[in-house]
Amino acid sequence: MKAAIFHPAARDVLRSFPEEVRKELGKAIRDLQGGAKLGMPVSKPMPDVAMGAAELRVRGKDGVYRTFYYTKSSRGILIFHAFVKKTQKTASDDIELGRKRLKELLHDEI
């Protein structure tokens, strides 16, 4: 089973999500750790963030929740950004913040 490595800011946001959303995201992350390949509607590739990046997609009672992750790290599954989605298209600020946080986690591998 691969490790799940969280960016500290993503972990803080995930902790603020409603319990039912956290449970769904937790199950998806455990599936990824076990080597599962997730697809729509649970996961969607996010090449705008980085090659190999994807997002977990959960709809809660009060919103749409997203978590960016990366599976190509030798250290495990990197969970690097989480947010409540407010528009149809992912905001460019979230994409940029995701890129920045992924680079921070990948930098630790060098």
Say what the pLDDT of residue 62 is. 85
Give residue 107's pLDDT.
82
- Domain of 44 in residue numbering reads as 3-107
- In this structure, what are the phi and psi dihedrals at residue 94, rounded to the nearest 5 degrees? -70, -40
pLDDT at 110 over 80: no
- Residue that wins the pLDDT comparison between 31 and 110: 31
Structural domain tally of the chain? 1
- Strands 3-6 and 76-85 turn out to be parallel
pLDDT, one tens digit per residue, over 57-98 is 999 888 899 999 999 999 999 999 999 988 888 889 999 999
Q: Which CATH number belongs to the domain containing residue 36 in this structure?
A: 3.30.2310.20
Scan for tokens 């691969």, then name that residue: 2
CA dihedral (98, 64, 87, 80) in degrees, to 10, reads 0
